[in-house]
Amino acid sequence: MSVFISGATGFVAQHIINQLLEQNFKVIGSVRSQAKADKLLRQFNSNKNLSLEVVEDISNLAAFDEVFSKHGKEIKYVLHTSSPFFTECDDYEKDLLIPALNGTKGILNSILKYAADNVERVVITSSIAAMFDFTRDLDPSYFYDENSWNPDSYQEALTDGGHAYNGSKKFAERYAWNFVQEHKNEIKFKLTTVNPCYVFGPQLFDENVTAKLNTSCELINKLLHLSAGDAVDNFFVGNFVDVRDVAKAHLLGFENQNLVDKRLLLISSRFNAQDILDIMNEDFKTLEGQLPAGVPHTGALHQWKGAIADNSKTKELLGFEFIPLKKTIDDMVTQILRKEKRL
């Protein structure tokens, strides 16, 4: 029996595939074109347990029908990671909300049509964006946890790119939970959602370190390419989790019975630009004098007076320690500097 993963080319998905192959799962992934399939298969050394299928655009509600009509009976676990992740675009609805929502609608309905009897577990990559009111991030009286929901209406989600991305994750996740309720007598599978905050960490393959990285890693890449005289923008602030832990949570998400019906809020710690620069400045001799210093050790990791996130339930359920910011940044920076021949 196989694991199906949508969006196999993604930053997070590649780490998930790597961990699945390490555990000898047979993996079927979807990618947007044959050229992307060929590249990814080469990167995974043509691993015999990995096969890829082309699913061009998840905005199309029937996008997954072909792959599930072909492979549905071999699939036991489904990991749905594909979704647009950016905030700058021309049309918030067409570029963000529709693909996210239709992707989730499409894959769940394809399972219902072609694999209702054999898919046992579905894990959807949602986001902290579906869980909290990010306009209140600086409000110390605001508390959120695994039961919280982003309060935005569909109309509010169309306000700007940030609201649109957050809304895209909220409405897609909501659809999934409603779907399992509505179809509980027709499906076998149980649902788990993985809701990460900013995901940082090395690319699975050095080859994927390009001048501009995926949306979350690009934040770190930008800081690494500042000059000593640049200002430190401490509005660049949030929660982070390492990509290797996100991948691990997806595997546990379908392997562990106690994660059925759970929303997993993945947070390792808070950070801001100062914290990241502190680590870069202290751990990399080669960067000496090249980056802004700011005011060392005054970042959000040391003092945070805003909203309180509580993911203690998730930590207890997963049962492993999240990788700390220092290791994540060290591994990312090492990889980028190695690629740029600056180590």
The yes or no reply on residue 199 touching ligand NDP (CB under 6 A) is: yes
Site residue total, ligand NDP (CB under 6 A) = 25
Residue 37 tokens read as 């399939």
Q: Are 104 and 176 in contact (CB under 8 A)?
A: yes
Q: Which of 58, 247, 265, 277 binds ligand NDP (CB under 6 A)?
A: 58
The yes or no reply on residue 239 touching ligand NDP (CB under 6 A) is: no
Give the contact letters, 112-151, x = binds to ligand NDP (CB under 6 A), - = no: -------------x-x------------------------
For residues 111 and 123, give the distance between their C-alpha atoms in angstroms, rounded to a whole number. 13
Please choose, out of 70-78, 82-90, 151-159, 328-336, the segment that lies near ligand NDP by the rule CB under 6 A: 82-90
Q: Are 28 and 115 in contact (CB under 8 A)?
A: no
Give least dist CB 61 to ligand NDP, A.
12
3-state secondary structure 139-182: CCCCEEECCCCCCCCHHHHCCCHHHHHHHHHHHHHHHHHHHHHH
Which residue, 169 or 190, is less far from ligand NDP as judged by CB? 169
How many residues comprise the chain? 343
Q: Are 196 and 246 in contact (CB under 8 A)?
A: yes
Residue nearest to ligand NDP (CB): 10
The yes or no reply on residue 43 touching ligand NDP (CB under 6 A) is: no
The yes or no reply on residue 167 touching ligand NDP (CB under 6 A) is: no
Q: Which of 32, 73, 136, 183 binds ligand NDP (CB under 6 A)?
A: 32
Selecting among 105, 169, 248, 262, the annotated active-site residue is 169
Q: Which of 216, 272, 314, 335 binds ligand NDP (CB under 6 A)?
A: 216
Q: Are 108 and 72 in contact (CB under 8 A)?
A: no
327 is annotated as an active-site residue: no
The yes or no reply on residue 99 touching ligand NDP (CB under 6 A) is: yes
Q: Which of 214, 256, 298, 334 binds ligand NDP (CB under 6 A)?
A: 214
Q: Which of 2, 18, 81, 193 binds ligand NDP (CB under 6 A)?
A: 81
Residues near 167 by beta carbon (within 8 Å), at least 6 away in sequence: 96, 97, 150, 152, 154, 156, 157, 158
Give least dist CB 132 to ligand NDP, A.
12
The strand pairing partners of 309, in sequence order, are 144
Backbone torsion region of residue 195, taken as left when φ is above 0, otherwise alpha when ψ lies between -120 and 50, otherwise beta:
beta
For residues 296 and 281, give the distance between their C-alpha atoms in angstroms, rounded to a whole number. 9
Nearest to 129 by CA among 143, 144, 150, 147: 150
Could you list the active site residues? Answer: 169
Residues in contact with ligand NDP by the rule CB under 6 A = 7, 9-13, 32, 36, 57-59, 81-85, 99, 125, 127, 169, 196, 198-199, 214, 216
